[in-house]
Structure 1
Amino acid sequence: MEGVPFEESHELCKELEIDEDTTEIRPKAAEATRTDASPGQVITPNNILPGEPRVELTDPNIYEILQEELMTRSLNKLAPHFWLMTTQRSNNIRPLTEQLIQGRAIALTEMPGLHLVWVNGRVFVKPLPKYLLSYAFWKHYLVSAKSPIQQVHREELLQAALGFLRSYAYLIQHESDFRLATKEEKTRLIPEGVSYADFAAFIVRFKVDDKFVSPRYQVGELRLARLNFWSKVLLFKRSYYPVKWEYAAYFAQFYAPLLFAFAMFSLLMSAMQLVLAVRTVLEPSDSWLLFARAARGFALFTVFIVAFVIASLLLVLVVLVGQEIYYASKDLYSKNKRGSTLRDQENQCDGGGQ
């Protein structure tokens, strides 16, 4: 993608103005009061990145700072294997109101790698940084050849920023979603002073094609449990992000399945012992013959029920895993087919142009 994805008239943060000829950066509000700046001099109030008072605009490590704020390197490494973890569609992002319907609470995070990751009734969402709403920021730092950031790094940041903003085009699709994103007492995701009409006009510009965004944002929501599992296998990490920090909480998650397994096997062994015991004492002349036969029958029935329950659960597990593998493979095939079709069309266009 060439150029800023939105027009200057649609920017939601008007704190910066950058002269590309002199690389002078100044606040629009202070333009009339400061006319003595030399070329390249920064004269913004406190010389800070909008919304980030700890970051100076002239910081030589501006790329590293923006990388921490926007890049998702671990997820980009996992991207070729996303078909094992989630639906292969970038629009697989539920609006905020639907997240609540699904029983998920909106949890704020400043970690880009946790954005749109969900676990245990929570979905993590990274708030919109104020500087990403500025036309001047996009033009100078992410697009312009005069940017202090090297081109290869600039392209990576641009893809990450486009994907991140595009996710908000799906998270906030209605005014009710916008109200949830701007509730001060809950979780404010959008800076103050932005109206729904202005936001809608701004965010619609970010519905771009997958080829313009980083690999992580070519899919939507991700389940943390699967990320933790596949990070062990593919990245050789203990976990992607641990949700259980204390030993007690970590081991508590195994209590229920272990108790269920012990109960099933205990019931099964008791029933088998009863069958064997009845069989050894059973005699035709015994007055308890009828009860013994009933006990043996009930014990055999219990063995059958336990075996049936275990087999049913295993079958359900196999079916669920099979369905996920089927749909994941189908999505992967469709995605590869679409990519192949697009490449063929581009090659035809290039050939026709020559």
Structure 2
Amino acid sequence: MLSIPFALEQELSHQLSISSDSLRLEREDEPSSCRLPDQPNILLNSPDFCEYLNREFRTTELDAFTPYFWLLTTPSHTNISPLHHQLVKGRQIILTEEPQLHLLWVYNSIFVKPIPRFLLSHAFWKFCLSPESSPLSPNDRQATFGAIRGLFRSYYHLIKYKSDFDLASENRLIPEGVEWEPLADFLSCFADLENDAVSSRYNFGEIRFTRLKFWSSILLHRLSFKFYGQYADHFSRFYGPLLFIFGVLTVVLSAMQVALATNVQTWSTFTLVCRWLAVATILLVALIGGGLLLKLLKMVGDELLYVLSKALFKRGKRRKSGATKSKSSECI
């Protein structure tokens, strides 16, 4: 049975309780409400509740890619700078609800997933981890709470000082009303968790997103999340490397042109090298231009296919519902 890392007296949220028959979660602060705290669209003790937990905390894609993480970052879960040091590095702290973006950084930004209030409730952990009452299957319990443990262990390294706590409050990373010292005591309960107790993604700390995308494309590990919303933003990351390559080739070809202008007849081998390098440069430019064009066409094609698939799905759904209505009317 999975254990709760913190004691009852260390909980920071008292909004949830377990019913007398131990079969339901209830709202302690609002007995008439059956909604998850701070998540009014999610009902307690409903199938959506299980789906929500799996969706909001698990990092399935990154877990599958962890065997290659040694190519991306330091193989240590302590490789996480506190929030105040993120500012020293010139990074902007950006809140994200996508769990797979947590602790990914790109250029001058780092993404951090906030802590929802219900995770600070002892009743929530006790109910969901108990085999008798948990709405989650054993595999889902292991995977989901492994990710939640990893999230809290990462926060132990993110919030080390009072200044980090102030930054977390300012950026809405922790619930309102939580105080510094109780939070420090709470997070310390997760500090010494072994790597086996958390999901494999959290065996590593911060990850550079550009490097992740580079190696994922080489290793054919497709990632569903991305940052670039505009074509210009997507292609602008190629400008720097391409300008460098073209600059080097321009200097080399110009030097060769000057050398060939001397009309030295004894440089037959050099002349042959210049000829083939010029041809190779033309082919390289053509390949790069063609590759970028194909990439643009692929992006446009993927968007068109996505739109068409959604349209066909909705049309099929309408036809199915129309046929069902007609059959029911015939029965009447």
Tell whether the structures are fold-level matches, with TM greater than 0.5: yes
Moved more, 122-131 or 11-20: 11-20
Alpha-carbon displacement from aligned partner over 1:186-220 (angstroms, at most 9, x marks no partner): x2100000110110111111111111001111111
How far did 1:129 drift?
A: 1.0
SS in 2 for 1:53: strand
SS in 1 for 2:18: strand
How far did 1:232 drift?
A: 2.4
How many angstroms apart in 1 are the aligned matches of 2:187 and 2:131?
Answer: 21
Alpha-carbon displacement from aligned partner over 1:123-160 (angstroms, at most 9, x marks no partner): 10000011111110011013453212222211211211
- The aligned counterpart of 1:286 is none
Counting matched residue pairs gives 265
- The aligned counterpart of 1:197 is 181
- Equivalence map 1:1-354=2 (5 Å): 2-19=2-19, 21-29=21-29, 44-183=31-170, 187-207=171-191, 208-237=193-222, 239-279=223-263
Which structure 2 segments of 5+ residues have no match? 266-332
What percent identity do the matched residue pairs reach? 42
How many angstroms apart in 2 are the aligned matches of 1:13 and 1:248?
Answer: 45
How many angstroms apart in 1 are the aligned matches of 2:147 and 2:130?
Answer: 13
How many angstroms apart in 2 are the aligned matches of 1:50 and 1:77?
Answer: 31
SS in 2 for 1:46: coil
SS in 1 for 2:235: helix
TM-score (norm: length of structure 1)? 0.70
SS in 2 for 1:124: strand
Alpha-carbon displacement from aligned partner over 1:327-346 (angstroms, at most 9, x marks no partner): xxxxxxxxxxxxxxxxxxxx
How many angstroms apart in 1 are the aligned matches of 2:85 and 2:50?
Answer: 35
How many angstroms apart in 2 are the aligned matches of 1:137 and 1:148?
Answer: 11
Decide whether the 8 Å contact of 2:22 with 2:133 is kept in 1.
no
* Cα-Cα RMSD: 2.2
How many angstroms apart in 2 are the aligned matches of 1:121 and 1:47?
Answer: 41
Which structure 1 segments of 5+ residues have no match? 31-43, 282-354
Aligned in 2, Cα 1:54/1:2: closer, same or farther, shift over 3 Å? same
How many angstroms apart in 1 are the aligned matches of 2:53 and 2:18?
Answer: 19
Alpha-carbon displacement from aligned partner over 1:20-40 (angstroms, at most 9, x marks no partner): 64435433346xxxxxxxxxx
How many angstroms apart in 2 are the aligned matches of 1:159 and 1:23?
Answer: 23
Decide whether the 8 Å contact of 2:78 with 2:157 is kept in 1.
yes
Deviation >6 Å, runs of 4+: none
TM-score (norm: length of structure 2)? 0.74
SS in 2 for 1:266: helix
Q: Which amino acid aligns with 2:199?
A: S
Aligned in 2, Cα 1:93/1:28: closer, same or farther, shift over 3 Å? same
Aligned in 2, Cα 1:155/1:143: closer, same or farther, shift over 3 Å? farther
Decide whether the 8 Å contact of 2:24 with 2:45 is kept in 1.
no
Q: Which amino acid aligns with 1:175?
A: K
SS in 1 for 2:33: helix
- The aligned counterpart of 1:294 is none
